[in-house]
Structure 1
Amino acid sequence: MVKPICVKLSHSEQHIAVIGTCRNKDSEFSDHVKSIVKSEELKLVLIIFRHGDRSPLFPIYPFQPYSSLKYWPEGYGQLTNILDRDLESKPLLKFQSEHKDVEFGNVPRSSERLLKDLFEYLSKKIGKNVSMAITKELASFIQCQISNGYPFPSYINESVFMQMKEVENKFIAVKSSLKLFQQIKSGLLFDHIKNIISTQMTRGRSEKKVYFFSTHMSNLAAFLNVLKVYNGLKPPFGATIFIEMFQEQSGSYFLKLVYLNVTESNQTFALRLPACNYNSRCEIEQFFDSFKHLNPHDFASVCSLKESSSLGISMF
């Protein structure tokens, strides 16, 4: 099971880059946002992270014993504790308890041919025709199952499961590369981030110093794919993107983007965007250009949704 994550902002190596398992009060979020070096100052941080460890979304293979709700007392699609995962992921940062005033908002056919043997095997075992989409859901279900201490199904060994995970990764990579999917899953998020950064530039300050965006896997995959830095691997529980905004002595601003793709480690990776010429330093306009093809104002018309509809993204 993935452990709760804590964020720690420090001035080591000229950027914040530490997020890991909660250990003690030294790991809590407090008083760690400081000047980085004399020539540049950290002005703003945006943190986009995936929800924590959860139960399966639904009983994809109901004849299996661990599909029963008695094994998932939290309900389907919830964090493996007593609270709704959309709300509980935020206190995992150990932030709310210290700040009571914070308000919380609520595939290619060729690939299928290559995997024909796997699909036929799974179809025979679960008693229904299996496609890439079903294999992806089945892999997700089994991952939740084993993460919570339950054994593999009798017909799945580690080798078969790895093949299923490969299908899952391919399915997500293809789906999150589609413009419509990106528009729906990340368009409004990018627009909101742009507004926050623009406010910092025009006013010299923003309403807050740190913003947290609590998202789902699909939002994070689309976000990375839009920036053309998606590594082809499903973002795991707790995966986090840091967008750090710096100001130089000259007054100009620039960004650094960092990705944490495992919560069991403090190791992060600099995101070098093609739009930023693959440099770790990204000019603001270069960053904006990377998602200018998304029009967030088309969201409601594309989805026929009311303004109050949920995007699976919470900001606080």
Structure 2
Amino acid sequence: MELLIKKLNILVTLMLQISSVIFAQSIENKDSLELVVILHRHGHRTPTHTYKNDPYKDEDKYWPIGLDQLTNKGKMQMYNLGKLFREEYKTFISSYSVKAVQVNSTNYKRSHMSAQCLLAGWFPPSGSEIWNEQLIWQPIPIHSVPIDKDQTLALRAPCPRFWCERQNVLMHIADNETPEDKKLFKYLTTKSGENISTIDDLATLYSTLKKEELNGLTLPDWTINVFPHKMQRLADLCANSFTWNEILKRFFSGPLIKETLFQLKEKSEGRNKDKKLFIYTVHELVLFSFLRTLNFENIKYGEFGAAIVLELHRIHHRYFVKLLYSHSAGVAPYELTIPQCSTPCSLDKILSNTEYYRSVDWDKQCFE
């Protein structure tokens, strides 16, 4: 009996190894691919805000395209990202089809323009799709909802419970400020001319300085002592505060996790048979929070063009999810091991692991 058990164990191990190899080969060749869901950040942009003592606050002089707008560099980043995905999924989806592709974006100009540029790189028209020989481009619909009603991508729809909980977290963080933190707030207030007394204030100023630097401008001398190193930790705390605990994760990332996994589940159950690709154009905090809620630790904060990719694979009548991540435009997405889930991760397992977040009822629970 003992010998038989050993032989059975060896046989099971061998079968698992063979299945693993078959699975890996199938995924690599895209043979088993059923659906792709992409979440990506917009491209390089101008600052959203300037500050009182900002040497670059003259919008006409320094920001002629406007504040918070996609730059030419950002357009090219998105176009190249589209080309990268076109090459990666050329055997899965080679041309645009209204039945196969759906694109959703937050209702910001930079987001819509980013989605347009990405689509231009991914789906250049060919054959009968060409409607203008002088313009090798085709229009593709992009869906969005008003910012103040967006519960899923921009997360700006009213939710008193979320903001009340986050305020409690901010008070906790403020109670634990060090003398150095207080000194930094005072220094930034004096130099910027703005009231910098919270991590939200600091994060806004940090973002402005970073965008100005990324746009090739020389920052004022006073920033040398604090940017980015001394400001970075508190700016990171601000980002973390949106998903500080389970309640905040549920409201801030739950709706998007619910939306993306819903598409995978629908496909696995035989609905949306024609759909092959969902694209969501969002923002860095949304991507970062999505991964934090899935229990990824020490993940890089997404730069321009960062992307999360969820692939749904069907192997031997079972469905598995492969998750990939790129922290910056131009960096090919690489696979991540989904926490609390074996590799490969079954769709059933990831659905089970995220049930708490996906069960959020925004319209009801936000106002309880």
Alignment partner, residue 255 of structure 1 = 321
How far apart, in 2, do the equivalents of 1:289 and 1:282 lie? 11
Runs of 5+ in structure 1 lacking a partner?
A: 1-12, 16-33, 305-316
Q: 1:168 to 1:129 in 2, by over 3 A?
A: closer
1:36 and 2:28 are equivalent in the alignment: yes
Alpha carbons 2:203, 2:234 under 8 Å: kept: yes
Structure with max Cα Rg = 2
- Deviation digits for residues 144-165 of structure 1 (CA, Å, limit 9, x no counterpart): 1011111112211175322212
After superposition, residues 18-97 of structure 1 pair within 5 angstroms as 36-37=28-29, 41-59=32-50, 61-70=51-60, 71-81=62-72, 84-93=109-118, 94-95=121-122, 97=124
* Structure 2 alignment gaps of length 5 or more: 1-22, 76-107, 130-137, 145-169
CA distance 1:206–1:176, change in 2 (3 Å): farther
Answering whether residue 142 of structure 2 is matched by residue 104 of structure 1, we say yes
Shift in Å, 1:233 = 4.2
Cα deviation for residue 205 of structure 1 reads 6.3
The one of 169, 181, 185 aligned to 1:119: 185
Q: 1:87 to 1:135 in 2, by over 3 A?
A: same
1:73 Cα deviation after fit: 2.4
1:235 to 1:290, Cα distance in 2 relative to 1, 3 A: farther
User: In 2, Cα distance between the equivalents of 1:111 and 1:232?
Assistant: 24
Taking a change above 3 Å as real, the CA distance of residues 129 and 226 of structure 1, as seen in their structure-2 partners, is closer
Structure in which a larger fraction of residues adopt helix: 2
Q: Contact 1:48/1:215 (CA < 8 Å) preserved in 2?
A: yes
% identical aligned pairs:
24
TM-score computed with the length of structure 1 as normaliser: 0.74
State the TM-score, normalized to the length of structure 2: 0.64
CA deviation map 1:76-103 (0-9, x unaligned): 2221259921211112321355373632
Q: Which runs of 4+ in 1 moved over 4 A?
A: none
- Give the Cα–Cα distance (whole angstroms) in 2 for the partners of residues 299 and 207 of structure 1: 29
**Contact 1:243–1:256 at 8 Å: present in 2 too?**
yes
Q: Which shifted more, 195-204 or 79-88?
A: 79-88
Aligned runs of 1:139-288 on 2, under 5 Å? 139-157=206-224, 160-203=227-270, 206-231=273-298, 233-248=300-315, 250-266=316-332, 268-276=333-341, 279-288=342-351
Matching residue's letter, 1:88? M
Deviations 1:37-59 (A, max 9, x none): 49x61221111111111222223
8 A contact 1:244–1:255 mirrored in 2? yes
Amino acid at match of 1:53: H
